[in-house]
Amino acid sequence: MCPKADPSFQLAVALARLAINGTGASVAQLQATFGIGKGTVTLYTHRVLEVLDEVKHNWVTWPDARRRNEQSQVMRQEGFQAAWASLTALRYHSAKSP
């Protein structure tokens, strides 16, 4: 059994996969780039996504009234009169359904 790769390396592989089109060709490209097996690219991606899912409650929160008011003021200054917040999303492209 091989020792587990450094978490920072696993994160780098997963982020690279999430940054490119999620087709089988991209996995093969990452396999060659990082010098690892195709299954390893998938394994690292799944591990990173599992960890992100576990810690999401530490980082994703609903703003309280004070914060919503602050965000609303900023949005009005930017020309969005009816909006109080914005959303930033990470899109995970995949050729297969989860």
| Count of helices and strands (H, E) across the chain | 4, 0
**CB 63 within 8 Å of CB 85:** yes
What pLDDT is attached to residue 24?
Answer: 67
Average pLDDT, the chain: 79
For residues 72 and 85, give the distance between their C-alpha atoms in angstroms, rounded to a whole number: 6
| pLDDT tens-digit map of 21-60 | 666 678 889 999 999 988 999 999 999 999 999 998 887 7
Map out the domains of the chain as residue ranges.
7-61
